[in-house]
């Protein structure tokens, strides 16, 4: 499964803790189906739910190359899915941040994007407070814990971006 799973399959499945959904949001990707092109921002519409219609098939995913990008995944030790995963991409000074695992589905974090677009440093990300309201709260981690992880993991992703390294699983 781990060797044969496809990006299209992961995106269509849209597990709220899957990695790829956060990447398409951060990279500003376009999902190409057999019928149309869908912006990443319009693709994820709910838990395990996407804009795909019955029998619509993903045939490709494209994105403009970022100046730098990194993914940090804080894993559930049993499943290796994300408790929280953060994908940071910077292009022409604009920063996009995709979060997975923390909510009912992957989402962009506007407050951190705004702060990092003004000043792209780990300290900038760490200084952003994320409200716990609405975040997942379960046996793997409280909503407050996930709220703490978002700026911390974003800061580490920025460190990787600045170092030119792709990220880490922790």
Ligand X SMILES: Cc1cc2nc3c(=O)[nH]c(=O)nc-3n(C[C@H](O)[C@H](O)[C@H](O)COP(=O)(O)OP(=O)(O)OC[C@H]3O[C@@H](n4cnc5c(N)ncnc54)[C@H](O)[C@@H]3O)c2cc1C
The nearest distance, CB 150 to ligand X, in angstroms, is: 18
Sole residue written with tokens 């693709």: 43
Among 29, 37, 48, 57, binds ligand X (CB under 6 A): 57
The nearest distance, CB 82 to ligand X, in angstroms, is: 7
DSSP class of 141: B
Cβ–Cβ < 8 Å for 149, 140: no
Number of amino acids touching ligand X (CB under 6 A): 17
- State yes or no: residue 105 binds ligand X (CB under 6 A): no
**Largest Cα–Cα distance of the chain, in whole Å?**
45
- State yes or no: residue 61 binds ligand X (CB under 6 A): no
**Which residue has its beta carbon closest to ligand X?**
9
Measured CA to CA, the distance from residue 32 to residue 157 in angstroms comes to 27
The nearest distance, CB 152 to ligand X, in angstroms, is: 19
- State yes or no: residue 12 binds ligand X (CB under 6 A): yes
In the sheet where 68-75 sits, what is the strand order?
A: 107-108, 94-100, 82-91, 68-75, 167-169
Residue 66 in tokens = 């970022």
- State yes or no: residue 167 binds ligand X (CB under 6 A): no
- Name the site residues for ligand X (rule: CB under 6 A): 1-2, 5-6, 8-10, 12-13, 18-20, 52, 57-58, 80-81
């Amino acid at each position: 499964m781990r060797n044969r799973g496809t990006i299209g399959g992961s995106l269509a499945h849209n597990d709220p803790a899957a990695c790829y959904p956060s990447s398409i949001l951060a990279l500003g990707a376009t999902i190409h189906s057999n019928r149309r092109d869908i912006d990443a921002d319009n693709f994820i519409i709910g838990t395990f739910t996407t804009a795909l219609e019955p029998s619509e098939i993903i045939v490709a995913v494209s994105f403009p190359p970022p100046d730098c990008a990194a993914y940090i995944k804080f894993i559930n030790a049993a499943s290796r899915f994300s408790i929280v995963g953060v994908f940071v991409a910077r292009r022409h000074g604009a920063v996009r941040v995709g979060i997975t695992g923390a909510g009912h589905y992957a989402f962009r974090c506007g407050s951190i994007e705004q702060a990092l677009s003004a000043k792209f440093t780990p300290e900038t990300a760490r200084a952003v407070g994320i409200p716990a309201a609405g975040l997942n709260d379960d046996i793997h981690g409280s909503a407050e814990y996930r709220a703490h992880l978002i700026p911390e993991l974003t800061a580490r992703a920025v460190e990787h971006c600045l170092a030119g390294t792709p990220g880490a699983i922790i």
